[in-house]
Amino acid sequence: MASEMLGLVNETTNASFMSFEEAENSMIQSWFLMSNPCTIVSLLLAYLFIVLKFGPDNMKSRPAYNIKYIVMAYNVMQIYINTNIFLKMFTTPGSLEYFSKHSCHPLRPDLNPVRSAIMEAMHIYFVTKVLDLSDTIFFVLKKKQSHVTFLHVYHHTLMPIAVWTYIKYYREEDGVVVGFLNSFVHIVMYTYYFLAGLGPEVQKYLWWKKYITKLQLIQFGLVITWMCTMFVLNCHLSRFIFYLAVGNSFVFIYLFTDFYIKAYTKKNSSLIEQNKTECQKSR
């Protein structure tokens, strides 16, 4: 009798979970750009064609577009959206308590009280990764093709497909923390871009530009630490997500460090040498 009751409970529990999973899959299927991988892959291929071939070729014989106010409005929108995503962790009732207790061994999705709110936030986060593609298009329209570096294009191409894959097939708690952390970094980054767009009067106070790159490097270090901690503690963690997050974090650390050295360290060295030369000439 007891075994029959236990079997009935298990069947009911499994049916409840399957019903929840089907409903969640159906909901995600209806979300923007989430129906099938062909959509996001086609979008990214079009992006690569535009920023690497079509755009530069067409801008050769054209003057740079004056899109200052469009870019500033775009920066404000990015600040607003990323702030809302980041605050979702703190404003969703029970969110902090849930992640503090269940990040390592999450509850079954149908028993997770913050599941729907967090998944909706992650979808908005995915949309921001698609929106980020505009950064490169703005560079092309302003004839700043030198800004369209391998680091920039690699980062902007990888993030949308990685987040899409996470939402579509994985949807576990370990990746959520990474998304919220990245949203905070983007709040700082787009705030800087907005202030820089206000002109020389404001730009002279933006001495902290190089610290944005340092913040990004800290972010990647925290991602590696978070994922490795989850791995060592034998938490519920997809090996695919682990290797994807950690592997790409190391790639980004290498690329961002290389950028930092070229943009700031070597630049400062060149200025010092230039000043020495000018001093010697003036003697």
**Can you tell me the distance from the alpha carbon of 112 to that of 223, in angstroms, rounded to the nearest whole number?**
24
**Contacts of 144 by beta carbon, 8 Å cutoff, 6+ apart:** 64
Is 155 known to be catalytic?
yes
| 114 neighbors 98 (Cβ within 8 angstroms) | yes
One of 155, 156, 186, 236 is an active-site residue; which one?
155
For every residue of the chain, DSSP letters joined together read -HHHHHHHHHHHHHHHHHHHHHHHHHHHHTSTT-S-HHHHHHHHHHHHHIIIIIHHHHHTTSPPP--HHHHHHHHHHHHHHHHHHHHHHHHSTTHHHHHHHHSSSPPPGGG-TTHHHHHHHHHHHHHHHHHTHHHHHHHHHTT-GGG--HHHHHHHHHHHHHHHHIIIII--HHHHHHHHHHHHHHHHHHHHHHHHTT-HHHHTT-TTHHHHHHHHHHHHHHHHHHHHHHHHTT-S--HHHHHHHHHHHHHHHHHHHHHHIIIIIHHHHHHHHHHHHHHHHH-
Query: Which of the residues are catalytic?
Result: 155
